[in-house]
Amino acid sequence: MDGRMQDEVLLTAQECAGRIGLSVRALRLYEQYGLISPRRTSKQWRVYGSNEIARLNEISALKTLGFSLRDISKLLRGHSTDVVQMLALQKDALTDTRSRAERGLRVIESLLSKIRTGAAASIEDLLKLAKETNLADLSKDTAAWRRYEQMRPRAEVAMDAALYENYVGAYEFADGTLAVVSQGDGQLLYRIVGQSDLEIFPETDSEFFMKVLPVQIKFVRDPDGKAHSLMHHQNGSEDRAVRTDLEYVRSVEDEVQRRIREKKPRSEGDRVLRRMIEEHARGEPNLDEMSHPLAILVEEDKPFVKSTLEKAGALKALTFKGVSCDGLDVYDAEFEHMKMEWGFALTHRGKISHLYLRTTL
């Protein structure tokens, strides 16, 4: 062995398989698909180190999401394992499984209560039970998989900046979130209303990505090449926005800037936030009142937020602080045992588009 192999802890194929819970045959199969490349000793024995173990964890997480080895090979080809990304994928997959289990338990308890009263279980009850308790029904459509795919490395391609004009304009999502695409100095810029412009880079002639965030924008074009809608990919969510009137969107932006300058809260903002805090404290946030991307994040963080609010105790007072630079109404929240800051934003259709909380001194 070379000096590096002597300094690093290495496992034989048998040891690796036994420690991870695989068969040696599975290791050979992964090698055939080009998923792992174990090093060799001077006697040509295969040995597995930290890089190979990390890759095996990555493969396991993707298999949990329902991917074939052929699909996994295509996805992982050409880049090394990102341990943080791999752990995030596994966390998301386990969180999804836990959420599905909790929903299934609620359905079972509801059905048991119904039967105890003497009522019969209907076919709809049984169909719902089958759906919510089928924990093996994980697929490529899960948020965990989409988030993983959205975080993969991307390569910028050359593109004629004159084509950017086809994408310039305003777009509206179903929940009322507004976006603006503009160009300047040979750059194509994208922003959600209330936020700053960020450059997006071409991956193909209709697909773009950000370098500062794991966000991709795919434009859908008419036969003449002009975009009539876009797909925004972020945080495991895929959301469609259609073209809308640019002047109206600018008027919405002007109103946000006015509220920021004047430190003016939204009407009934206090009532809206109190309701949200109560719902989160019960562990029952109303996801239907949120934008799709926010609903995904809130569902994932629900146990943590509920636990935090249980420790905080009863809400004693809410005080408006102002409007953040990205248009969120910010409040100081005084609880029985804790002080916190909450911020939220609504779309022009009344959906909650942004929400955060943090403890303060």
- Report the pLDDT value the prediction gives residue 139, as an integer from 0 to 100: 46
Same domain membership, residue 237 and residue 193: yes
Domain end point (choices 76, 103, 136): 76
Tokens representing 336 are: 């029985």
Has residue 155 been placed in a domain? no
Has residue 350 been placed in a domain? yes
Question: Domain range holding 355?
Answer: 263-360
Same domain membership, residue 272 and residue 231: no
Q: At what angle do helices 69-76 and 50-64 cross, to 10 degrees?
A: 130
Same domain membership, residue 354 and residue 278: yes
- Report the pLDDT value the prediction gives residue 89, as an integer from 0 to 100: 67
Domain end point (choices 16, 42, 76): 76
- Report the pLDDT value the prediction gives residue 159, as an integer from 0 to 100: 94
- Report the pLDDT value the prediction gives residue 135, as an integer from 0 to 100: 47
- Residue 218 CA to residue 232 CA, distance in Å, equals 7
Has residue 175 been placed in a domain? yes
Same domain membership, residue 282 and residue 297: yes
Instruction: Please say whether the beta carbons of 329 and 269 come within 8 A.
Output: yes
Same domain membership, residue 108 and residue 72: no
- Residue 130 CA to residue 127 CA, distance in Å, equals 5
Same domain membership, residue 42 and residue 89: no
DSSP per-residue codes, 172-198:
EETTS-EEEEEEETTEEEEEETTS--E
Tokens representing 118 are: 């003497």
- Count of CB atoms situated within 10 Å of the CB of 8: 13
Averages of pLDDT over runs of 10 residues in the chain (361 residues) are 56 87 86 87 88 84 73 72 67 73 80 82 68 51 66 87 95 94 95 92 95 92 94 87 95 92 93 96 93 85 92 96 93 96 93 93 78
Has residue 247 been placed in a domain? yes
Query: Residue 173 is part of a domain; what is its CATH number?
Result: 2.40.128.50
- As beta bridge partners, residue 243 has 171
Has residue 91 been placed in a domain? yes
Domain end point (choices 254, 275, 303): 254
Tokens representing 33 are: 């698909």
Query: Residue 56 is part of a domain; what is its CATH number?
Result: 1.10.1660.10
Has residue 307 been placed in a domain? yes
Helices (H), 44-82: 50-64, 69-76
Say how many domains are in the chain: 4
Closest CA to 151 of 231, 89, 219: 89
Has residue 208 been placed in a domain? yes
- Report the pLDDT value the prediction gives residue 140, as an integer from 0 to 100: 46
Has residue 156 been placed in a domain? no
Closest CA to 80 of 173, 152, 10: 152
- Report the pLDDT value the prediction gives residue 227, as an integer from 0 to 100: 96
Helices (H), 117-222: 123-132, 143-150
- Report the pLDDT value the prediction gives residue 131, as an integer from 0 to 100: 61
- Residue 276 CA to residue 357 CA, distance in Å, equals 11
Q: Helix (H, G, I), strand (E, B), or coil: what is residue 110?
A: helix
